[in-house]
Amino acid sequence: MTLLKFKLTAMLAVVAWLCTYAQICVKPGGRVQMGNWTYEDNFLAAHPELSNIDTVTTVKLFGYNPAGAGARLSFGDQFTRNTCNVVIGELSRHNDTDRLWLHGKNGIYYTSHSGIDTIYYYDTSKDANFHFNTNVVADGVLLGSDSRFKHDINPVENGLQALDQLKAVSYKLYPHFTQENAEKFYAENGDMTDPTGKMEKDQEFFRQFYAELAKQPTRYGFIAQEVEQVLPELVHTDKSGYKYVDYIAVIPLLVNAIQELQAQLAEVKGDEPLKAPARAPQATGTDDIAAGLAVPALYQNTPNPFTADTQIRYSLPESVQQADLYVYDLQGKQVKHIVVSDRGQSSVTIHGSELQAGMYIYALIADGQEVASKRMILTK
């Protein structure tokens, strides 16, 4: 009898030890706890009025932190305790961050069915971009644009010329997920038992799902390969060779093009009063008063842009002794100099064959003073 009592006592001690140091605990309410739950047990013991506050949780994980923070679920090749290849848990094991950590060493994939319909993914083996294979709807999208984020800042030039070379198109996208891929998936998994008929219901659900995806709306945009010929910095190519256009970057070019058009329009409007007849001479005993009232003027070249020749009109009073027209490229290099000999309303001709295609700045200098400068675009 004494031996039996000893064995029972030993068994009870072992059970008590296992209960004390067990890593899985089932609470009376049916909740399963894993890990270091000592903190919560001590806390609830001190505050029994809160013992039923968490009645929804059915499985709770406690981590390394004394407060129970830092718990994680790890999947796959976890050779050592410090290796984290595929993990779901709290961001830090040492601090109570209350932040979800979703980690995949090579990336993260989100699917609605299987590998045949990846909704979005981030894969480090492909590129450093987040890919969405569906429309993205948001109340607002903000992009980092603070000057402190940037360097080598330069004004946009030549926006009108660049946009003039782009061709807008309408198109429809091929669906990323197709019924063909779904049927292939089911064919490869045809040996799966389906006693409740759920698999058949899933197949019908996804047939309708893929049929809706096939109804692609008409979209508008550019062809990346064509944009790359004009604005290569707006096109990004992934490791598989597929090309993507940075449509947001087109906005500054649009703004610059509008500003150029507004400047040209203002110059055209400002040209009208200069075409009015000069005022009649006043009774001052001289015939050149009207000419003395005129001031030097430089007008926008026409046509602009041009491919062959363009005319640059100007107005110079007879009192001007020396006048010169200079043409510069955007690097500030002088590419042409014309001595202007005519006075009054006149013009000079610029031959496109004498210059390379691009944007140029021309300026009129009268008696050592700049009258004005304008831009012109040569296309070939």
- Segments forming the whole domain that contains residue 76: 16-108
Tokens encoding 182: 């779904």
Residues 163 and 249 placed together within one structural domain of the fold: yes
User: Does residue 34 sit in the same domain as residue 91?
Assistant: yes
Structural domain contains residue 149 = no
In terms of DSSP bridges, do strands 32-35 and 59-62 run parallel, antiparallel, or are they unpaired? parallel
206 occurs within a structural domain: yes
Domain check: are 228 and 300 in the same one? Answer: no
DSSP secondary structure code for residue 26 in this structure: E
- Yes or no: say if 158 and 206 are a contact pair by the CB < 8 Å rule: no
The span from the first CA to the last CA of the chain, in angstroms, equals 111
- Overall residue count recorded for the chain in this entry: 380
State the pLDDT at residue 94.
77
In a domain, 377, yes or no: yes
Among the ranges given (41-50, 85-94, 95-104, 240-249), the one the predictor scored with the smallest mean pLDDT: 41-50
Phi, psi of 15 (to 5 degrees): -60, -45
- Number of domains into which the chain is organized: 3
Q: What is the pLDDT of residue 223?
A: 94
Nearest Cα to 72, choosing from 42, 34, 23? 34
**Per-residue model confidence as pLDDT tens digits over 202-248:** 777 777 777 777 777 888 999 999 999 999 999 999 888 889 999 99
Per-residue pLDDT, 233: 92
What's the pLDDT score for residue 86? Answer: 86
Question: Stretch 149-165: mean pLDDT, rounded?
Answer: 83
In angstroms, the CA 189 to CA 267 distance is: 72
What average pLDDT does range 166-181 have in this prediction? 80
* Least confidently predicted of 104-113, 346-355, 359-368: 104-113
Query: 3-state class of 54 per DSSP?
Result: coil
Q: So what's the pLDDT on residue 194?
A: 65
Same domain, 22 and 88: yes
The reported pLDDT for the residue numbered 250 is 92
Q: Identify whether 269 is part of a domain.
A: no
State the amino acid at position 10 in one-letter form.
Answer: A
Position 69, amino acid: A
Average pLDDT over residues 313-326: 91
**Residues 247 and 161 occupy one common structural domain:** yes
Q: With cut-offs at 50, 70 and 90, classify the pLDDT of residue 9.
A: low
What's the one-letter identity of residue 45?
A
- Last residue of a domain, which of 205, 231, 253? 253
**Domain end call among 108, 136, 164:** 108
Residue 272 token pair: 């009208």
- 3-class DSSP assignment, residue 129: coil
pLDDT band (50, 70, 90) for residue 149: confident
Co-location of 243 and 302 in the same domain:
no
27 lies in some domain:
yes
Check which CATH number belongs to the domain holding 339 and give it. Answer: 2.60.40.1930
* pLDDT at position 234: 93
Decide if pLDDT at 334 tops 60: yes
Instruction: Give bridge partners of residue 320 from the DSSP assignment.
Output: none
**8 Å CB contact between 98 and 70:** no
Do residues 243 and 298 both lie within one domain? no
> Which span out of 56-60, 193-197, 279-283 was modeled with the highest average pLDDT?
56-60
pLDDT at 337: 94
Q: Do 101 and 169 fall within a single domain?
A: no
Do residues 310 and 374 make contact, with C-beta atoms less than 8 angstroms apart?
no
pLDDT for res 274: 37
pLDDT (average), residues 296-306: 90
Question: Are 240 and 304 in a shared domain?
Answer: no
Strands (DSSP E) found in the chain: 24-26, 32-35, 59-62, 72-75, 86-90, 100-104, 107-111, 118-123, 130-132, 169-171, 219-221, 235-237, 243-245, 297-298, 309-316, 323-329, 334-339, 344-351, 358-366, 369-378
- Mean pLDDT score of the chain: 78
Q: Are residues 242 and 301 in the same domain?
A: no
Tell me the two tokens of residue 158: 């030549």
Task: Indicate whether 166 and 233 sit together in one domain.
Answer: yes
Give domain status of residue 366, yes or no. yes
Instruction: Work out the burial of residue 234: count CB atoms within 10 Å of its CB; fewer than 13 is exposed, 13-18 middle, 19 or more buried.
Output: buried
Does the pLDDT of residue 4 top 70, yes or no? no
286 within some domain? no
Residue 122, in any domain of the structure: no
